[in-house]
Amino acid sequence: MTELSCIVLAAGKGTRMKSDRPKVMHQIAGRPLVTHVLASVAEIGAREVALVIGPDMAEIAAEGEKVGLACKVAVQQERLGTGDAVRIGLMALPRPSGTVIVLFGDTPLITPGTIANLARHIEAGASIAVLGFETGRPTGYGRILRDAQGQVVAIREENDASPEEKAVTFCNSGVMAFNAEALRELLPLIGNDNAKGEYYLTDAVALAVERGMAVRAQTCDESEVQGINNRLELSRAETLMQVRLREAAMLAGVTMQAPETVFLTFDTQLAADVLIEPNVVFGPGVTVESGAVIHAFSHLEGTHVGAGCHVGPFARLRPGTRLGPKAKVGNFVETKNARVGERAKINHLSYVGDARVGENANIGAGTITCNYDGFDKHMTDIGAGAFIGSNSALVAPVTIADGAYVGSGSVVTRDVEAGALALARGVQVVKPGWATRFRAEKAAAKAKSANGAAGEAGEGRPAGDTLVKAGGQAD
């Protein structure tokens, strides 16, 4: 697109969201609503972008940078309508030329293709192009009015529409494209003589028609321009976005056994021949390479999964996790800031955080890297081919060198050299006959109690053989 500028209106408080957060900062697919819109703007190559926000909404201003846009931020102190908001946004741009597109920060499903197609009407000579949709439920929307020849003559807000106009089902999305010179000419002519006393940008259409300017309309699917005003509409937009993301992934070669149970984010990258089982959640920043299998009920965020890996079921991969090719992270395993080498295995019931696990290493069930001392995080380095026995605690900082063994049940606090065996557990003591005597003594005590007899609970205990409490069981 040539000479394209955008004004994104994002000043709404979102009162119906019942939230202290600005409406456009609520998220779908792991990204704020307004950032989805700005990402589409960036994709079509807008030269200049003005972001119109309300007072005390400075957090919105930084969203443009996340998608590579240097937005000009303008503050609408009083909410006097879309015409006033566009006027404020236009002042923030250094006299744009060509096409100016007005978008809304709460319509995250609008696609770059739709925006670009709307702009082409202006490049073809129209002064205004409006984006509309057909719906069987027009209540609440402005109506796009056309004459007998199908030419757009006005947009009427519902509060000001006649009964005949309310029967129109071609509705205004609010998204409009303008020739920059026409926009500068029409904005000062917009008044506020209407039911709300606001300056409606849509009034520019009738003003343009009166002056012989060409106005065009483009149709899109209603879902693409669905605005979000409450949590229910937010959930509906999430559902639509998830369908879009899943379909794109499957068409690119990803297998999803139950796609409706898989949740993706805007930046999830899944290679061809990845298999995803049911009930998997991807947080932001996940890449999965070809041939990997993500088993059911797993949660991944900020993670790189190498080719041919197996993850889960019931695995949690936290930010900073990187799995080498054909590594395995199994059921009820949690990793964080962990680099797991090729063919290494952490198959079950373990926590590996702030660690490096070398290639072909094997981490036994119940292994914990004790990475936090209450103040700082420390690293555990496990070498290639190392074997960590089940139920071991590795107290960081510590290094288990290549090929070393750690005996099951060990608490390792010092480095283990290559090829060595580390044992760090109490010496086993066996007392023959202890269990038999313990049970007999307890049974006798219960019998005496039941008969109402008094006596020492330990009477009859063999001299010098102190009984300790055995581990209890749930009953």
Q: Nearest Cα to 350, choosing from 362, 335, 336, 328?
A: 335
Q: Nearest Cα to 1, choosing from 105, 110, 98?
A: 98
- Tell me the C-alpha distance between 341 and 357, whole Å: 6
3-state helix, strand, coil in the chain (%, to 5): 25, 25, 50
Residues 6+ apart with CB under 8 A from 201: 81, 82, 83, 85, 86, 102, 176, 190
Catalytic (active site) residue 348 = yes
Secondary structure in 3-state letters for 238-275: HHHHHHHHHHHHHHCCCEECCHHHCECCCCCEECCCCE
Structure tokens at 337: 């800031």
Structure tokens at 194: 């209407």
Q: Contacts from 390-398 at CB under 8 Å and sequence distance 24+? A: 390/364, 390/365, 390/366, 391/364, 391/365, 391/366, 391/367, 392/364, 392/366, 392/367, 392/368, 393/367, 393/368, 394/367, 394/368, 394/369, 394/370, 395/370, 396/354, 396/355, 396/369, 396/370, 396/371
Catalytic member of 295, 310, 348, 378: 348
Q: For tokens 């509309």, what's the residue?
A: 132
Secondary structure in 3-state letters for 368-412: EEECECCCCECCEEECCCCEECCCCEEECCEEECCCCEECCCCEE
Q: Contacts from 303-307 at CB under 8 Å and sequence distance 24+? A: 306/342, 307/271
b (16+ CB within 10 A) / e for 138-169? beebbbbbbeeeeebbbbbbbeebeeeeeebe
Q: Left if phi > 0, otherwise alpha if psi is -120 to 50, otherwise beta: which for 68?
A: left
Rounded to whole angstroms, what are the CA distances from 99 to 42, 60, 73, 190, 289?
15, 24, 19, 20, 41
* 55 cis-preceded (ω within 30 degrees of 0): no
Do the beta carbons of residue 399 and residue 379 sit within 8 Å? no
Which residues are annotated as catalytic?
A: 348
